[in-house]
């Protein structure tokens, strides 16, 4: 696999930051990783503390009413369908790109790559989860900085003529897609849009199958992504030990976000990753809300996740 982009820094997300209390400040200071742990004295074990927000819902409650609604009185970004030639896959493919209101080549923007679930296309984020509306509203409220969002086709078998690819077949969601993302999508975006091309300004996130892809790709390319967010990651997720062969590497992330709904049949997978990160002292945010494996989970976590990105 040819080297795609300069090798900078990485981040991954989850909703309430869990690491042994003694490690929190040391790791935040040495790696830049953010934490949101709320601790209190543990009466069962004098001299120790426990999390007062184990599910991350105090720090990251349900998104407010109207957070994903169209507001006619504010500026709106633009979503374009972009075709590109993938030499890696030998075909012509599509992605969708969101540029913020007032986008101009006179400034450089950070980039967030968001991956969709099995059997879907990039419209899962742009239409069903209403990502453009969420970002427009957060920008209007001054809660985030302007950014470019890229929604690739996570199925390597998808083409311009067949955007649905293999449907619910899983073969196209593995290494072929990872190669296309790293060797084609990212270089295309960085040569055609006015974006910052370093790890501190490059984030990766996804839902379901895209959440698994996010962990598989992001945690093995910490030099490219400083921010990583997996929402309701699917069974394509590698085992925690495979994802994190060396915890010291993942601790270099600025943010690792792990989230899932309590009504999701895939909660076991996500809980397993969270538990392993906690055991290895890897700073991360863990968010367990009351949703199922659904669009509400996508939208609510995007609302919180994007507000944590690209912080100095």
235: in domain: yes
CATH number at residue 68: 3.40.50.1820
10: in domain: no
Sign of CA dihedral 194, 197, 203, 209: positive
Q: What does the pLDDT look like over 238-280, one tens digit per residue?
A: 999 999 999 999 999 999 999 999 999 999 999 999 999 999 9
229: in domain: yes
8: in domain: no
Residue 53: predicted pLDDT: 74
47: in domain: yes
Res. 52 pLDDT band, cuts 50 70 90: low
| Interatomic CA distance for residues 201 and 216, integer angstroms | 20
User: Total domain count for the chain?
Assistant: 1
Q: What does the pLDDT look like over 155-200, one tens digit per residue?
A: 999 999 998 887 777 777 899 999 999 999 999 999 999 999 999 9
**Taking 90 as the threshold, does the pLDDT of residue 18 lie above it?**
no
1: in domain: no
pTM of the model: 0.85
Q: How far, in Å, are 45, 109, 230 from residue 277 at the CA level?
A: 22, 31, 13
3: in domain: no
Res. 55 pLDDT band, cuts 50 70 90: confident
User: Angle at the Cα of 288 (from 284 to 62), degrees rounded to 5?
Assistant: 110
126 neighbors 132 (Cβ within 8 angstroms): yes
68: in domain: yes
Give the residue-averaged pLDDT of 116-135: 95
Which range marks the domain in which residue 138 is found? Answer: 21-308
Exposed e or buried b for every residue in 111-141, given b needs 16+ CB within 10 A? bbbbbbbbbbbbebbbeebbbbbbbbbbbee
């Amino acid at each position: 696999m040819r080297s795609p982009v300069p090798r900078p820094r990485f981040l991954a997300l989850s909703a309430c930051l869990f690491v042994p209390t003694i490690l929190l400040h040391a790791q935040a200071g040495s790696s830049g990783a953010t934490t949101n742990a709320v601790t209190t004295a543990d009466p069962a074990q004098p001299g120790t503390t426990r999390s007062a927000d184990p599910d991350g819902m105090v720090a990251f409650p349900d998104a407010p009413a109207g957070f994903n609604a169209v507001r006619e009185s504010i500026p709106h970004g633009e979503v374009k369908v972009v075709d590109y030639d993938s030499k890696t896959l030998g075909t012509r493919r599509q992605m969708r790109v969101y540029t913020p209101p007032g986008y101009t080549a006179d400034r450089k923007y950070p980039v967030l790559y968001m991956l969709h679930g099995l059997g879907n296309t990039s419209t899962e984020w742009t239409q069903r989860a209403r990502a453009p509306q969420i970002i427009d509203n957060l920008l209007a409220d001054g809660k985030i900085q302007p950014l470019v969002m890229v929604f690739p086709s996570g199925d390597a078998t998808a083409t311009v003529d067949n955007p649905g690819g293999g449907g619910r077949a899983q073969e196209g969601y593995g290494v072929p897609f990872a190669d296309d993302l790293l060797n084609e999508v990212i270089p295309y975006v960085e040569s055609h849009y006015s974006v910052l091309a370093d790890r501190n300004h490059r984030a990766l996130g996804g839902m379901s199958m895209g959440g698994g892809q996010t962990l598989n790709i992001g945690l093995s390319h910490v030099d490219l992504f400083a921010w990583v967010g997996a929402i309701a990651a699917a069974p394509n997720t590698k085992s925690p030990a495979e994802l994190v062969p060396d915890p010291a590497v993942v601790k270099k992330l600025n943010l690792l976000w792990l989230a899932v709904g309590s009504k999701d049949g895939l909660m076991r997978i996500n809980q397993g990753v969270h538990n392993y990160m906690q055991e290895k002292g890897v700073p991360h945010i863990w968010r367990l809300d009351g949703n199922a494996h659904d669009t509400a989970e996508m939208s609510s976590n995007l609302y919180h996740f994007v507000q944590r990105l690209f912080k100095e």
